Structure 1
Amino acid sequence: MTWMITGGAGYIGSHVVRALVADGQSVVVLDDLSTGDPQRLPADVPLVRGSVLDREVLDRVLREHEVRGIVHIAAKKQVGESVERPLWYYRENVEGLRTVLEAAAEAQVRAFVFSSSAAVYGMPDVDLVTERTPCEPMNPYGETKLAGEWLVAAAGRTYGMATASMRYFNVAGAAAPELGDPGITNLVPMVFDRLDRGLPPLVFGDDYPTPDGTCIRDFVHVADIASAHVAAARRLTDDPSAHLVLNIGRGEGVSVAEMVRVIQEVSGHTGTGLEVVARRPGDPARVVASAESISKELGWSAAHDIREMITSAWAGWQLRHPG
């Protein structure tokens, strides 16, 4: 069975590719390389450069590689950008997914894993977010992920595909330095960037109803995200009737201030302090996953802690920013 990974040359996608290959799976990558890097991929993994909106390319890849499973990761993912360009986000994330599903149905693909997000929940007012927590996304990005889950579920039921929608929480770390997060929009690389420039890390608000006043999040190592996809791929292969929606998180909250302190320790920048600025609109005080369902359904649990995430991310940052 061959798995097509859309967006497989990106930060998360390349980790999923390597994990599936290590599990003995046959893999082909489809990526438009708008943010992906071919150097992230193992040399023996075929890469097709193309868009998920290009039906001709999709049909060719599915046919030539005899694809029977898809992991759909390709998407636009910046919340602020989605507010500024909502129509583009719906086109890329929803119409792109619809095109992939249509091609998959015609090619008789039997398993489909969808990269979703905790952004579907919006601002949940609960200690632990379960898959039954109401979904009330607060921005176009979260809306496109929730609409994507609906599309995946409908296509799976109608066309006989086993499906899994995987709701990522806050992803960090790297399985190898060369696979580190190249952007600076997530908390960990954002702090690295400030520290490298001799600036104190920014904390957006310290007056939340939490023990130290800063937001609490569920940070999960990208290698654990990848292993969860392997577990989902195995389950869908073995159980063609499966239709799953699962959180991927550690089930443990860490405050932003605590994360920054560990980042400062790991990077050796312990004297920089913090700069507290105004809250960002729409930031909930606490978003922490319940990991009970994924443990029950897939036998999966996260294997890495916060310090491992940050240490691995720092190695990747130093590789890309020597000196």
Structure 2
Amino acid sequence: MDTVLVTGSAGGVGARTVDALADAGREVVAVDRRTPLSDERRDGVDYAAADLTDYGETRQVIGAAAPDAVVHLAAIPHPEDHAGSRVFANNVESAYNVFDAAGAAGARIAWASSESLYGTVFADEDWLPDRLPIDEATPTEPEDPYGLSKVVGEEVAAAAARRHGVPVVSLRLSWVTYPGDERRREARETFDPATADPSGNCWSYVDVRDAVSAIEAAIDPETDIEGHEAVLIVAAENFLGRDTAATIEAVRGTLPADCDLDGDESVFDCTKAERLLGWEPEHSWRDDEANADENG
């Protein structure tokens, strides 16, 4: 039976990943800065506390678990509530420590990179790429410490794959949303293109259930990955229910000269994830809202 170690296990994506892996019969080691109280622990899951910016602690907790796979989700998730230097240092140091320790253990690795590495989400200026949709070949041009930490993290991931000969998948996640989360509905119902602020990710998102299924596919021993691969993990459509290109043009006053978007489809192209991981998004805001209306 495979053993999977999950960092950031107390977070929204982390907790659901732990549950999904345990439900699938995996041995799971859940790692965060603190272990949960006894009544908050899931039966059959081992818990460990570690400061992942400390190489010795990281190497010790991963070595003791001897995992077949490591899922690295621990990070400061944006640059808005912390000093930029802290965001960058925390995310890069923890990525290096986890990837090197996991590689030394011979573990497959999947980790949460981000769409922010393109420079979209936290840019000071009104940013658009030279072409849409965005894919893995689109240049990464971050200005902020969070996006930059993900660019560096992917380079560290590639180095770990080369050094240790293990497969590493960088999952470029969009804004992760959750069933019952009203933020998408509120944004959609109050949206006015005449007054709306530009959206750094052009109103893209990914349902947490699809994020977890991508993680499971990335660490599946049957998934044929060699070296390091980066893949976008994004819902198929924007969460506004509007024509994507027309909405971008209405809000920003312009579109890239090279724009090939159809209807409300996302500005992020997930073809590579489908090809390498066999992954496609299965959940939509429309389904969640239909269910909420039926139960409401």
Same fold, TM-score > 0.5, yes or no: yes
Q: CA deviation at 1:55?
A: 3.0
Q: Of 198, 210, 217, which aligns to 2:203?
A: 217
Match of 1:243 in 2: 228
Amino acid at match of 1:244: E
Match of 1:21 in 2: 22
Secondary structure at 2:81 match in 1: helix
Native 8 Å contact 2:225 2:276 kept in 1: no
Match of 1:127 in 2: 132
Alignment of 1:1-323 (within 5 A): 1-33=2-34, 42-81=42-81, 85-106=83-104, 108-123=105-120, 124-125=128-129, 126-174=131-179, 187-188=183-184, 191=186, 206-207=194-195, 216-235=202-221, 238-239=223-224, 241-255=226-240, 288-309=267-288
Q: CA deviation at 1:238?
A: 4.9
Q: CA deviation at 1:202?
A: 6.7
Could you give the per-residue CA deviations for residues 18-57 of structure 1, whole angstroms, max 9, x where no partner exists? Answer: 22223332210110149x8987763321111222123333
Secondary structure at 1:167 match in 2: strand
Q: Which runs of 5+ in 1 are unaligned?
A: 175-179, 193-199, 259-278, 319-323
Match of 1:268 in 2: none
Aligned equivalents of 1:102 and 1:109: distance in 2?
10
Native 8 Å contact 2:59 2:97 kept in 1: no
Q: Which runs of 5+ in 2 are unaligned?
A: 121-127, 244-250, 257-264
TM-score when scaled to structure 1? 0.70
Cα separation, partners in 2 of 1:62 and 1:313, compared to 1, 3 Å:
farther
Aligned equivalents of 1:307 and 1:17: distance in 2?
26
Amino acid at match of 2:61: V
Cα separation, partners in 2 of 1:214 and 1:293, compared to 1, 3 Å:
closer
Amino acid at match of 1:246: V
Match of 1:261 in 2: none
Cα separation, partners in 2 of 1:17 and 1:215, compared to 1, 3 Å:
closer
Match of 2:124 in 1: none
Native 8 Å contact 2:67 2:107 kept in 1: no
Native 8 Å contact 1:119 1:141 kept in 2: yes
Amino acid at match of 1:28: V
Aligned equivalents of 2:37 and 2:190: distance in 1?
29
RMSD of aligned Cα (Å) = 3.8
Q: CA deviation at 1:79?
A: 3.2
Cα separation, partners in 2 of 1:223 and 1:311, compared to 1, 3 Å:
farther
Q: CA deviation at 1:10?
A: 0.7
Aligned equivalents of 2:239 and 2:7: distance in 1?
31
Aligned equivalents of 1:143 and 1:15: distance in 2?
26
Secondary structure at 1:216 match in 2: coil
Could you give the per-residue CA deviations for residues 167-221 of structure 1, whole angstroms, max 9, x where no partner exists? Answer: 00121114xxxxx77xxxx9449x49xxxxxxx98769745799xx998322221
**Higher relative contact order by CA 8 Å / sep ≥ 6: 1 or 2?**
1
Cα separation, partners in 2 of 1:118 and 1:37, compared to 1, 3 Å:
farther
Native 8 Å contact 1:111 1:163 kept in 2: yes
Could you give the per-residue CA deviations for residues 90-122 of structure 1, whole angstroms, max 9, x where no partner exists? Answer: 22100111122232233x233111210000112
Aligned equivalents of 2:148 and 2:58: distance in 1?
25
Aligned equivalents of 2:266 and 2:38: distance in 1?
34
Aligned equivalents of 1:88 and 1:204: distance in 2?
36
Cα separation, partners in 2 of 1:226 and 1:215, compared to 1, 3 Å:
closer
Native 8 Å contact 2:13 2:208 kept in 1: yes
Native 8 Å contact 1:114 1:164 kept in 2: yes
Aligned equivalents of 2:31 and 2:76: distance in 1?
15
TM-score when scaled to structure 2? 0.76
